[in-house]
C-alpha cells in the first residue's frame, strides 16, 4: 500500500487532499457522482485512487470533522430554504410548501376528478356546501358522480380569497384547484371561458395584480407629468400655501429623525391606500370572472335535450317534434274547430232572425 507522502500533489498544500476527499465523500452521501472533477489536470497531476484510505489517525479525525461540518451546513441551508419558501408562499407567490408535498398519515393524496354542472331553479333548488341552498338562476358544480354541490361563483370567490379552504370542502379527497382551475388539466374550466377568462385568470394569479397596478400608476404619472408639475408649481407659489407658513415651517426645519419618521408615516398611508385600491380592483375582476363562468360553463345535468360536446353522457337533441309539442298542436287544432263551429252557428241564427 502506498504511503501518504506518495499521494501528495506537487506544489499543493496538504489541505487540498483533505478537501477533495471530503467533497467526494459528501457527494456520495447525497447520492451524487463520486467521480473526480479534476479532469483537466495532466496525467502526472491526477489525484490518487479513491479506494485508498488515510492511515494517519490525526488526518482521518480532521477529515471526519470536516465531513460532519459540511453535512451540518448543508442541512441548515436546506432548512433555511424551506422557511423562506413558506414565507414567500404566504405572500401569494406560487411556491410549493411542505403541505403541498406531504400527505397526512392514513390518507391518500387528492386525485384529479371531472365535474358536473347543473342549474338551480325555484322548481328544482340545488344544495350548496357553502350556503346550504344555491340562489335560483345560478349554476352549481360538483365532482363527477357526487351530489356535494357548490355554487360556481361561490367556489370561484372562495379560491380567490382563501385557496386553502377549497379542497377541505370535499374532505381533501379531490384535487379541485389542480383539476378545475389549472390550464394544463384535461378537466379545466378555463377551456370554456376563452381569451377574456385566460387574461383575468393570469392577472389574478399571485402578485401580478399589484405589479399591473403599480406599472399603470407609474405610466399614468409619466404621461401626465407636465400637468402635475404645472399644478405643483402653481400651488407652491400660491398665497394660500405661504399663508400657512406658521403651521408648517416647524416641520421644514425639523431634525432629520423627525423627517424620517414623517416620511415613514406618509409611506404607511400610501401603502394602505394602494392596498385598498388593489382590493377594490380585485373584487371587480373576480366579479367579472364569476359572471364569465356563469355564462360560459356548459350544463351537464338536468338538460337532456341539449347536446354538450365536452361530456360523454349527453345525447344529441331529437330531430323531430316531441310528444308535448304534438299534444299542444292537437289542442290548438281542436280549439280552432270549436271556434269555427260557433261562428257558423251564430251566422245561421242571424239569418233566421232576419227572415
- Give strand pairing partners of 151: 140
Do 130 and 175 sit in the same domain of this protein? Answer: yes
Do 217 and 156 sit in the same domain of this protein? Answer: no
Do 212 and 291 sit in the same domain of this protein? Answer: yes
Q: How many other CB atoms sit within 10 Å of the CB of residue 115?
A: 20
Do 284 and 304 sit in the same domain of this protein? Answer: no
Determine the pLDDT at residue 32: 45
Looking at the domain assignment, is residue 227 inside a domain? yes
Determine the pLDDT at residue 37: 44
Looking at the domain assignment, is residue 271 inside a domain? yes
Beta strands in 108-251 (DSSP E): 115-119, 127-128, 132-133, 139-143, 150-151
Domain count, the chain: 3
Looking at the domain assignment, is residue 97 inside a domain? no
Nearest 10 degrees: Cα torsion 104, 110, 206, 140? -130
Sequential DSSP letters for 218-243 = HHHHHHTHHHHHHHHHHHHTSHHHHH
Of residues 262, 272, 291, the one with CA closest to residue 196: 291
Do 176 and 302 sit in the same domain of this protein? Answer: yes
Nearest 10 degrees: Cα torsion 4, 7, 9, 10? 70
DSSP 272: H
Determine the pLDDT at residue 286: 94
Do 308 and 188 sit in the same domain of this protein? Answer: yes
Determine the pLDDT at residue 49: 52
Do 134 and 184 sit in the same domain of this protein? Answer: yes
Do 292 and 212 sit in the same domain of this protein? Answer: yes
User: 27-35: long-range contacts at Cβ-Cβ below 8 A with a sequence spacing of 24 or more?
Assistant: 29/71, 30/74
59 vs 29: CA distance, rounded Å: 20
Do 83 and 31 sit in the same domain of this protein? Answer: yes
Which whole-number Å values give the CA distances from 256 to 72, 253, 262, 263, 274, in the listed order? 45, 9, 10, 10, 27
Do 245 and 166 sit in the same domain of this protein? Answer: no
Of residues 281, 265, 261, the one with CA closest to residue 217: 281
Sequential DSSP letters for 30-75 = TT-----S-TTS-GGGPPPPTT-----HHHHHHHHHHHHHHHHHHH
Cβ-contact 140, 118 below 8 angstroms: yes
Determine the pLDDT at residue 216: 95
Looking at the domain assignment, is residue 4 inside a domain? no
Of residues 293, 305, 302, 311, the one with CA closest to residue 114: 311
Looking at the domain assignment, is residue 215 inside a domain? yes
Domain that holds residue 287: 208-296
Task: Indicate the pTM of the whole model.
Answer: 0.57
Looking at the domain assignment, is residue 102 inside a domain? no
Do 220 and 174 sit in the same domain of this protein? Answer: no
Q: How many other CB atoms sit within 10 Å of the CB of residue 120?
A: 21
Do 115 and 184 sit in the same domain of this protein? Answer: yes
Determine the pLDDT at residue 14: 44
DSSP 304: T
Looking at the domain assignment, is residue 44 inside a domain? yes
Looking at the domain assignment, is residue 9 inside a domain? no
Cβ-contact 176, 170 below 8 angstroms: yes
| Residues in the chain with pLDDT values less than 50 | 1-22, 25-26, 28-39, 41, 44, 51, 304-323
Determine the pLDDT at residue 320: 46
Amino acid at each position: 500500500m502506498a504511503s501518504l507522502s506518495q499521494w501528495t500533489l506537487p506544489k499543493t498544500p496538504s489541505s487540498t487532499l483533505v478537501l477533495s476527499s471530503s467533497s467526494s465523500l459528501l457527494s456520495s452521501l447525497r447520492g451524487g457522482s463520486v467521480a473526480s472533477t479534476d479532469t483537466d489536470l495532466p496525467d502526472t497531476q491526477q489525484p490518487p485512487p479513491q479506494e485508498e484510505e488515510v492511515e494517519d489517525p490525526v488526518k482521518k479525525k480532521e477529515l471526519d470533522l470536516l465531513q460532519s461540518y459540511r453535512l451540518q451546513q448543508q442541512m441548515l441551508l436546506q432548512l433555511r430554504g424551506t422557511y423562506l419558501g413558506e414565507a414567500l408562499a404566504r405572500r401569494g407567490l406560487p411556491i410549493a410548501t411542505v403541505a403541498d408535498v406531504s400527505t397526512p398519515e392514513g390518507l391518500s393524496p387528492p386525485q384529479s376528478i371531472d365535474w358536473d354542472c347543473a342549474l338551480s331553479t325555484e322548481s328544482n333548488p340545488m344544495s350548496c356546501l357553502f350556503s346550504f341552498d344555491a340562489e335560483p338562476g345560478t349554476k352549481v358544480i360538483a365532482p363527477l358522480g357526487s351530489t356535494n354541490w357548490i355554487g360556481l361563483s361561490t367556489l370561484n370567490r372562495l379560491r380567490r380569497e382563501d385557496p386553502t379552504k377549497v379542497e377541505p370542502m370535499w374532505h381533501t379527497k379531490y384535487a379541485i384547484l389542480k383539476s378545475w382551475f389549472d390550464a394544463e388539466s384535461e378537466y379545466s374550466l378555463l377551456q370554456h371561458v376563452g381569451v377574456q377568462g385566460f387574461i383575468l385568470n393570469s392577472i389574478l394569479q399571485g402578485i401580478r395584480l399589484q405589479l399591473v397596478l403599480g406599472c399603470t400608476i407609474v405610466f399614468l404619472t409619466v404621461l401626465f407629468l407636465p400637468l402635475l408639475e404645472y399644478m405643483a408649481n402653481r400651488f407652491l407659489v400660491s398665497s394660500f400655501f405661504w399663508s400657512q407658513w406658521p403651521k408648517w415651517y416647524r416641520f421644514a426645519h425639523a431634525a432629520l429623525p423627525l423627517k424620517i419618521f414623517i416620511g415613514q408615516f406618509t409611506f404607511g398611508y400610501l401603502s394602505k391606500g394602494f392596498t385598498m385600491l388593489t382590493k377594490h380592483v380585485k373584487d371587480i375582476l373576480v366579479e367579472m370572472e364569476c359572471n364569465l363562468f356563469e355564462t360560459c360553463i356548459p350544463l351537464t345535468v338536468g338538460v337532456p335535450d341539449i347536446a354538450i360536446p365536452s361530456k360523454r353522457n349527453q345525447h344529441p337533441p331529437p330531430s323531430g317534434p316531441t310528444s308535448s309539442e304534438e299534444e299542444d298542436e292537437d289542442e290548438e287544432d281542436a280549439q280552432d274547430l270549436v271556434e269555427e263551429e260557433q261562428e257558423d252557428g251564430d251566422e245561421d241564427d242571424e239569418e233566421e232572425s232576419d227572415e
